[in-house]
Amino acid sequence: MKERLLRDRSLLIMVVPAVVLLLIFNYVPMVGVITAFQYYDPLIGIWDSDWAGLDQFQQLFADSRFWDSLTNTLYLSFVQLILFFPIPIALAMLLNSVLSERVRNFVQSVVYLPHFFSWVLVITIFQQMLGGAGALNQFLRSHNLGTWDVMTNPDTFALLVTFQGVWKEAGWGIIVFLAALAAINPGLYEAAAADGAGPFRRMWHITLPGLRGVIVLMLVLRLGGALSVGFEQFLIQREAVGHDAAEVLDTYAFYYGIATTNYSFGAAAGLFKSVISLLLIWGANKLAHSFGEDGLYRK
């Protein structure tokens, strides 16, 4: 062990700055986690606030709205995983296969722009296009074709928010995959082509394996973040579809925690989310290992 320590000392020194920053700005404030076991009052401070024991957690677990929001979150996460996750990968591969550099550059630099739109703007645009008084429905109305309710329908809300998410973030999401594609040695394609492999076989045997590391990493992180599906997007559309469909864990913690200055209750919900997320990412990493992948680190 001493040998390894000696051998790896430069590597360890390299890690120091990041670790120090995280210790100061992330680990020290983590003392705040204990507010979940208090009746915390910021004006009194962590050290002097009254202890609540597990009271906040009891209230949390006894609240059916909490469980509803958890169910919503997991459902939305699942839908996003299936319908959203593969799209940036597919788009990146599609773009990569375009020969004309001009076209490729233009498309790339356009599709990543919606990432910089605020959610308020994105939803305003959606409302103006697909809303009850939007361009589409005014067209349908003027041709007596009835109307199509997309923006306020709780039943299709999951699809709507996923579509909004794809529109806003897919273009941004392709960037990291483009970088991975750029790292693939073109010589491999040439050799495969010489061996008679067609485009699909080349994709299967060269492109996808080249992306595998990043895809698995992203997938593991996505699973670990399964309880985070977004906040503002749901906050803004909460009234449109009703809180039954739009309440997710983060909005729940906001409304029943910070918004009512019930900080400790919010902290309890947050701590619950943290613990489950850590379990999820640990499980996802295990799963990756069991498929022989690296996941977050090599087994």
Residue 84 interacting with other proteins (CB under 8 A): no
Least distance CB 78 / other proteins (angstroms): 19
Name the residue nearer to other proteins (CB basis): 76 or 263.
263
Residue 260 interacting with other proteins (CB under 8 A): yes
Neighbours of 11 (CB within 10 A): 8
User: Encoding tokens for residue 207?
Assistant: 């492109």
SS3 labels along 45-56 = CCCCCEECCCHH
Q: In the chain, what is the straight-line distance between the N-terminal and C-terminal CA atoms, in Å? A: 19
Residues binding other proteins: what is the number (CB under 8 A)? 137
Q: Which of 223, 296, 278 lies closest to 33, judged by CA?
A: 278
Interactions with other proteins, residue window 265-294 (CB under 8 A): 267, 270-271, 273-274, 277-278, 281, 294
Among 58, 67, 159, 199, binds other proteins (CB under 8 A): 199
Could you tell me which residues come within 8 angstroms of residue 138 by beta carbon, excluding any fewer than 6 positions away? none
User: Encoding tokens for residue 134?
Assistant: 């939007």
Among 75, 238, 287, 289, binds other proteins (CB under 8 A): 238
Tokens 């939305």 label which residue?
76
Residue 101 interacting with other proteins (CB under 8 A): yes
- 276, 270 contact by CB (below 8 A): no
Among 105, 159, 208, 286, binds other proteins (CB under 8 A): 105
Least distance CB 27 / other proteins (angstroms): 7
Among 70, 111, 223, 229, binds other proteins (CB under 8 A): 111
Contact map string, positions 157 to 196, toward other proteins, x by CB under 8 A: ----------x---x---xx-xxxxxxxxxx-xx--xx--
- 268, 56 contact by CB (below 8 A): yes
Residue 8 interacting with other proteins (CB under 8 A): yes
d(CA 218, CA 295): 9
d(CA 249, CA 251): 6
Among 66, 84, 262, 284, binds other proteins (CB under 8 A): 262
d(CA 82, CA 79): 5
Name the residue nearer to other proteins (CB basis): 82 or 201.
201
Contact map string, positions 124 to 153, toward other proteins, x by CB under 8 A: xx-xxx-xxxxx-xx--xx--------xx-
Least distance CB 62 / other proteins (angstroms): 11
